[in-house]
């Protein structure tokens, strides 16, 4: 029924774990290829696409810190992990003909451009996918917060938060059969009920700047396209 995209410019947030596929660690080439194809599908619709990827499939700052590492050092390691994921996704996308630029919040000239907001927007206008790597470049933050921040900076119409479930539930649907799925939620409800959408810093940032968030299941091929075309398959968080 829908064929015209609802959004002009989107920011898609993937967790590092989204790249693992069935594995317990690292990157699955098969999953990577499938995500790249999903992204290509929406680029082909004429949508401008920016991506932010987590690093949880390789390293998470908090787990390093619980094992005695300085939290900031551990977080920098986590940010470097997101650069690895970003490069992997860039490679997968360019293989199928999608021009892609990685911009890193931590300078790394040999492998990525530095993050330059205006340049990122220029890439998007030219139809290139821009991957924002290294989170915000600051410890004590998450890639969800980085995704919200970058979405604001580039004036994205929406933040698409990819997960493994088809939306936000009142409880863990795998453990509690009475858990219900929300179609629509307010930022305040997410914060008050402590629902697992994104961390509170990320949610607050979206709330203060009225950026809508759509939580959806990325493990189903074609779902990103559906969301972009306006099908209501996940949970929308807004005012």
Tell me, residue by residue from 198 to 237, as one string, x for binding to ligand UDP by CB under 6 A and - for no binding.
----------------------------------------
* Binds ligand UDP (CB under 6 A): choice among 10, 47, 146, 195: 146
5 vs 197, beta carbon nearer ligand UDP:
197
- The yes or no reply on residue 60 touching ligand UDP (CB under 6 A) is yes
Q: What is the distance of C-alpha 65 from the center of its chain?
A: 24
Q: Is the dihedral of CA 37, 42, 43, 48 positive or negative?
A: negative
Burial class, 24, CB count within 10 angstroms (exposed 0-12 / middle 13-18 / buried 19+): exposed
79 vs 214, beta carbon nearer ligand UDP:
79
Query: What is the maximum alpha-carbon separation in the chain?
Result: 54
- The yes or no reply on residue 167 touching ligand UDP (CB under 6 A) is no
Residue closest to ligand UDP when measured from CB atoms = 54
Query: Are 125 and 154 within 8 A, CB to CB?
Result: no
Q: Which stretch binds ligand UDP (CB under 6 A): 114-122, 142-150, 155-163, 177-185?
A: 142-150
Q: Which of 1, 7, 2, 4 is nearest to 155 (CA)?
A: 7
Shortest CB 1 distance to ligand UDP, Å: 33
* Binds ligand UDP (CB under 6 A): choice among 31, 75, 106, 182: 75
Beta bridge partners of 225: none
* Binds ligand UDP (CB under 6 A): choice among 31, 48, 104, 142: 142
Strand, helix or coil at 100? strand
48 vs 143, beta carbon nearer ligand UDP:
143
What beta strand segments (E) does the chain contain?
Answer: 9-14, 48-53, 100-104, 113-114, 129-133, 158-163, 168-169, 181-182, 184-186, 213-217, 235-238
- C-alpha span between 96 and 108 (Å, rounded): 25
* Binds ligand UDP (CB under 6 A): choice among 143, 223, 235, 236: 143
Q: How far is CA 79 from CA 60, 68, 137, 170, 214, in A?
A: 9, 18, 7, 31, 24
* Binds ligand UDP (CB under 6 A): choice among 6, 17, 26, 33: 17
Shortest CB 230 distance to ligand UDP, Å: 26
- The yes or no reply on residue 55 touching ligand UDP (CB under 6 A) is yes
> 3-state SS of the chain: helix, strand, coil percent to 5?
40, 20, 40
Q: Which residues are documented as binding site for ATP?
A: 13-16, 56, 60, 163, 169, 172
Residues that bind ligand UDP in the complex, under the rule CB under 6 A: 15-17, 54-56, 60-62, 75, 78-79, 81-82, 135-136, 138-139, 141-144, 146
Q: Which residues are documented as binding site for UMP?
A: 55, 75, 136-143
């Amino acid at each position: 029924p829908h064929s015209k995209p609802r959004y002009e410019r989107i920011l898609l947030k993937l967790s590092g774990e989204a790249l693992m596929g069935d594995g317990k660690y690292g990157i699955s080439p098969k999953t990577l290829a499938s995500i790249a194809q999903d992204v290509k599908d929406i680029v082909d619709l004429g949508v401008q696409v920016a991506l932010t990827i987590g690093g949880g499939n390789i390293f998470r700052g908090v787990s390093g810190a619980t094992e005695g590492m300085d939290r900031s050092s551990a977080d920098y390691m986590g940010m470097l992990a997101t650069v690895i994921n970003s490069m992997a996704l860039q490679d997968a996308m360019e293989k199928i003909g999608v021009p892609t630029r990685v911009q890193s919040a931590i300078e790394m000239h040999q492998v990525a451009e530095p993050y330059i907001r205006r340049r990122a927007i220029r890439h998007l206008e030219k139809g290139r996918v821009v991957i924002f790597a290294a989170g915000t470049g600051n410890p004590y933050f998450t890639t969800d917060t980085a995704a919200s921040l970058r979405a604001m900076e580039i004036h994205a119409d929406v933040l698409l938060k990819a997960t493994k479930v088809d939306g936000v539930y009142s409880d863990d649907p795998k453990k509690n059969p009475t858990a219900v799925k929300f179609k629509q939620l307010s930022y305040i409800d997410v914060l008050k009920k402590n629902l697992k959408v994104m961390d509170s810093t990320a949610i607050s940032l979206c709330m203060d700047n009225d950026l809508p968030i759509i939580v959806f299941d990325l493990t189903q091929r074609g779902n990103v396209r559906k969301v972009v075309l306006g099908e209501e398959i996940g949970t929308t968080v807004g005012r």
